[in-house]
Amino acid sequence: SRVTRSLAISLQSCQCLAWKPRPVGVWPCPGESQHVVAGYSDGTVRVFSVSRTEMELKMHPHTAALTAITYSTDGEMILSGGKDGIVAISSPRTGMTIHVLADHRGSPITVLQCIRKQYHDLGVEGGELWLASSSDRRVSIWVSNWLQDKCELLDWLSFPAPADPEGLDSLPPSLAAFCPWEHSVLVYVGFGLQKEALFYSLRKKQVLRKIPLPAFATSLSLSPSAPFMAIGFGDRLLRLQPCPAGDPQDYAGHDDTVHLCRFAPSGRRLLTASHSAVLVWELTGA
């Protein structure tokens, strides 16, 4: 692979980024402009055009460094989370921040994720579900209708953990993701009473099952095409875990903590990253 474009040089550090999604049913056109949004250490959110290799918009919805960022599923809103736990929802069309949520205040946001929601799912109206997780093991789930300026808290989860952990130089991240193959379920991994992945039902308001892990996870991704999880660990291990049950497959191709796992939209490739290596895996059985 090679670098095809360099978008910008900044004195600030880029902490997180996300691609703008393409609307459902819309095929790419020749010359279509692709966009990425990036969150910076100075609290700014910047939108870049990849095709024109330039910054198109700069917003400043945060006073602290950004730690997570994503687009809404239609690409019409940008959700950003900061080191201070503040979540902001901003419009890339107007450059204005329309919501500021302080529910996670005091703990860095670790994950933001949006998914489309079918009408009447979970007994509430709205076109989109999204979640925010923070490093203090809290996860909030929201239902939104951006056209109607609606953003409603649907559920609030808090996972217990030992008060004084031993043998850990730093706590592993709190990570959550909606389950693509099981509606109204999210998966959570993080520091806790046990080393495990938890499957929580938003309908039943309870943990459905637990999958034991060899260590506390440092990264997580769920396949969009098959019931598989990719989980990274601090001892250079990558695990592919069938769900809800099955024998895991472990790989040791990294030289350091596997801090990033990302399935491709097809589910046939997996990207993982450590301190000095980025690996792309072909998943022939997915």
Instruction: Domain ranges for the chain, please list them.
Output: 159-285
User: Which burial class, exposed, middle or buried, applies to 267 when counting CB atoms under 10 A from its CB (0-12, 13-18, 19+)?
Assistant: middle
Q: Reduce the DSSP state of residue 183 to 3 states and report it.
A: coil
Query: Over its length of 286 residues, how does the chain's per-residue pLDDT go in tens digits?
Result: 455 555 554 568 899 999 998 766 555 555 555 899 999 999 999 999 988 889 999 999 999 999 999 999 999 999 999 999 999 999 999 999 999 999 999 999 999 999 997 656 777 778 899 999 999 999 999 999 988 888 999 999 999 998 877 666 688 999 999 999 998 999 999 999 999 999 999 999 999 999 999 999 999 999 999 999 999 999 899 999 999 888 999 998 888 999 999 998 888 999 999 888 889 999 876 5
| 159-285 CATH pick, 1.10.15.40, 3.30.565.10, 2.130.10.10, 2.30.30.90 | 2.130.10.10
Give the per-residue pLDDT at 1. Answer: 45
Torsion of CA 67, 71, 72, 77, to 10 degrees: 100
Q: What does the alpha-carbon distance between residue 141 and residue 241 come to, in Å, rounded to a whole number?
A: 25
Q: What is the pLDDT of residues 177-222, one digit of tens each?
A: 999 999 899 999 999 999 999 999 999 999 999 999 999 999 999 9
**Residue among 130, 12, 19, 131 nearest 66 (CA):** 12
Among residues 182, 272, 171, the alpha carbon closest in space to that of 231 is found at 272
pTM score, whole prediction:
0.89
**Residues in CB range of 46: below 8 A, 6 or more apart:** 8, 37, 38, 40, 55, 57, 58, 59
Chain Cα centroid distance, residue 31: 29
| C-alpha span between 243 and 16 (Å, rounded) | 29
